[in-house]
Structure 1
């Protein structure tokens, strides 16, 4: 995974999503331009399938499908850099949480010298779920919310992802020492 700044000349496809693919918890949509993944979104099961209408969307779809089959499958996608410096710092820290591990919003906040609520907001604003595994950040007593929601298909997706990765939100381990030395740009 690598984040690169997207330039103003890279327009989003006018039709929106370049691929809508099935997932065990509903559907996933991928928005791309010629060079970058701009967004991965969780969609309800009834959303219609479409695409891929772009080579990069097809590549992203294959990588996501591999992950949905094998939680250890890596991602190597060109992600369009967006969000504030603070959000990018939180997303980088989330990307360092290994599969099978979870951290609470408070634990992650302490590791990045922030506040739990700010970490939760950054998790909810993550434009690249799965690639930046915000589902691995949980509440002290349970899974917490997901994509700014506290129920419905989004929380079901978080439960599925944690189970798929054999992570247990009620059994958080201590933060990994030195893991979150994330630098600002």
Structure 2
């Protein structure tokens, strides 16, 4: 499978986007903890990468509240179920790991859900930043807790403006 890549500037730093011929597979931040080293062809004119860049720019400008892109993250069936559930968390809202585990029918699996959440390869678009500790605390984030806080505050501003 051939991977294509491009980068874009954003308010949270440079993002590196990856796609196959027909689906977005990953978005990693500059200092993304645990990001794999991927071999990909640089391609700015790739249709999926162009669409992802445009939609992310709209999101950062406060003009987009959801994403409409073909996604193809690689993961186990359990990880896929967690990542699908993340996309159901409304903009500007947060769920705890325990709530997310209950939502996918795996009550008592908050740690496993947290591990799957931490392996989410499509940052921002699959909003793993919307998951917080049971007490509402901002727990770890692969892009760093300050980025997580910025994203949540940005989404609160978008939601307040609607």
Give me the TM-score of the superposition, normalised by structure 1: 0.71
Structure ID, larger Rg: 1
Query: In structure 2, what is the equivalent of residue 119 of structure 1?
Result: 113
Q: 1:80 aligns to what SS in structure 2?
A: coil
The counterpart of 1:100, out of the listed 77, 92, 100, is 92
Q: 2:144 aligns to what SS in structure 1?
A: helix
Provide the rounded CA distance (Å) in 2 between the counterparts of 1:82 and 1:121: 15
Alignment gaps of 5+ in structure 1:
1-9, 45-49, 148-152, 168-185
The counterpart of 1:26, out of the listed 13, 16, 27, is 13
The counterpart of 1:164, out of the listed 144, 154, 157, is 154
The answer to whether the 8 Å contact 1:28/1:40 transfers is yes
Provide the rounded CA distance (Å) in 2 between the counterparts of 1:86 and 1:63: 27
Q: CA RMSD in A?
A: 2.0
Show structure 1 runs of 4+ deviating over 6 A. none
The counterpart of 2:102, out of the listed 110, 116, 124, is 110
Paired residues for 1:1-185 under 5 Å: 10-13=1-4, 18-44=5-31, 52-70=44-62, 72-114=64-106, 115-141=109-135, 142-147=137-142, 154-166=144-156
Q: 1:19 aligns to what SS in structure 2?
A: strand
C-alpha distance after superposition, 1:105-127 (max 9, x if no partner) = 11211222331111111111111
Alignment gaps of 5+ in structure 2:
32-41, 158-162
The answer to whether the 8 Å contact 1:42/1:154 transfers is no
C-alpha distance after superposition, 1:20-46 (max 9, x if no partner) = 1111121111012221212111114xx
Aligned residues between the structures: 144
Provide the rounded CA distance (Å) in 1 between the counterparts of 2:154 and 2:63: 7
Higher helix share: 2
Provide the rounded CA distance (Å) in 1 between the counterparts of 2:94 and 2:2: 36
Give me the TM-score of the superposition, normalised by structure 2: 0.80
